[in-house]
């Protein structure tokens, strides 16, 4: 009977050690591939770029669209999670309250989809990257691994695909359109948006002024 607690303790130590090792490694090294890239089966087009080579407009746009409290929360937005729970309880399309940090943790270390186990693992990795990577690295990794189109991952590959130029010089409109498509990159058009996507892109472009004015993206550049 004494062997079981010892075995469990060893498993926990190994688990924590492996997690810490991966998080520390990816603080300095670009993640080579993700589960999403492998599972989607649409080919992989990606081109890692440092944050200094990605236009600030895109950073501002994704904060405006995805996570206005990115610079002030600890990886979790309690208010957004509470609102998502209330909306989901009313039925209809399931909505999340994930921050950019949570999305990054999921994209790099885990897989898409729900389930309590996966959400628990997401929370664990979110805690680790918030405390080991910091905001700038989280944003850098997010903008390099996020799916920006069918078989396309990251800001640079997305910018080349949609606008035929580098992510280093995205206009406010281009950045807003990319951010508007991020939640459903395989279904929302970036180059010729219509309906909701077009309206949402315009809303993001307007919010970007508030983000910049109030310094809501400041933690990425301080």
Tens digit of each residue's pLDDT (9 = 90 or more) over 5-40: 888 999 999 999 999 999 999 999 999 999 999 998
Mind spelling out the 3-state secondary structure of 133-198?
CCHHHHHHHHHHHCEEECCEECHHHHHHHHHCCCHHHCCHHHHHHHHHHCCCCCCCCCCCCCHHHH
Answer for the pair 203, 193: CB distance below 8 angstroms, yes or no: no
In a domain, 96, yes or no: yes
Answer for the pair 61, 208: CB distance below 8 angstroms, yes or no: yes
Q: What's the domain range around 196? A: 32-221
Compute the mean pLDDT over every residue in the chain, rounded to the nearest whole number.
92
In a domain, 10, yes or no: no
Residue 213 falls in which region: left (phi positive, over 0), alpha (psi -120 to 50) or beta:
alpha
Would you state the pLDDT for residue 27?
A: 98
Provide mean pLDDT across the span 170-174: 96
Cross-strand pairs, 147: 153
Sorting pLDDT into bands at 50, 70 and 90, what band is 95?
Answer: low
Question: Nearest-CA neighbor of 208 among 57, 70, 69?
Answer: 57
In a domain, 16, yes or no: no
What is the domain-level CATH number for residue 94? 1.10.3810.10
Residue appearing with tokens 């509470």: 82
What is the C-alpha separation between 44 and 3, in angstroms, rounded? 45
Would you state the pLDDT for residue 129?
A: 98
Would you state the pLDDT for residue 23?
A: 98
What is the C-alpha separation between 31 and 41, in angstroms, rounded? 18
In a domain, 191, yes or no: yes
Would you state the pLDDT for residue 64?
A: 97
In a domain, 2, yes or no: no
Q: Does pLDDT of 94 surpass 60?
A: no
Would you state the pLDDT for residue 97?
A: 72
Provide mean pLDDT across the span 198-209: 96
In a domain, 13, yes or no: no
What is the C-alpha separation between 125 and 105, in angstroms, rounded? 6
What is the C-alpha separation between 181 and 197, in angstroms, rounded? 7
Domain count, the chain: 1
In a domain, 7, yes or no: no
Answer for the pair 177, 164: CB distance below 8 angstroms, yes or no: no
Provide mean pLDDT across the span 178-205: 92
Report helix, strand or coil for 47: coil
Residue appearing with tokens 């492998």: 38
Report helix, strand or coil for 45: strand
């Amino acid at each position: 009977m004494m062997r079981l607690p010892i075995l469990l303790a060893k498993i926990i130590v190994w688990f924590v050690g492996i997690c810490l090792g991966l998080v520390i490694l990816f603080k300095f090294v670009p993640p080579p591939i993700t589960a999403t890239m492998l599972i989607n089966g649409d080919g992989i087009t990606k081109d890692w770029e440092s944050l200094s080579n990605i236009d600030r407009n895109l950073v501002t746009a994704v904060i405006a669209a995805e996570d206005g409290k990115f610079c002030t929360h600890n990886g979790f937005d309690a208010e957004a999670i509470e609102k998502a729970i209330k909306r989901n309880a009313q039925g209809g399309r399931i909505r999340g309250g994930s921050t950019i940090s949570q999305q990054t943790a999921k994209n790099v270390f885990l897989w898409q989809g729900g389930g309590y186990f996966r959400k628990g693992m997401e929370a664990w990795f979110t805690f680790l990257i918030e405390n080991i990577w910091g905001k700038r690295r989280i944003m850098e990794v997010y903008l390099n691994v996020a799916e920006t189109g069918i078989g396309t991952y990251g800001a640079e590959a997305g910018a080349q695909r949609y606008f035929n130029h580098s992510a280093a010089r995205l206009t406010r409109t281009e950045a807003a359109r990319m951010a508007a498509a991020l939640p459903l990159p395989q279904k929302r058009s970036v180059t010729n948006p219509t309906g909701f996507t077009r309206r949402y892109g315009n809303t993001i472009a307007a919010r970007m002024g508030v983000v910049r004015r109030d310094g809501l993206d400041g933690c990425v550049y301080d």
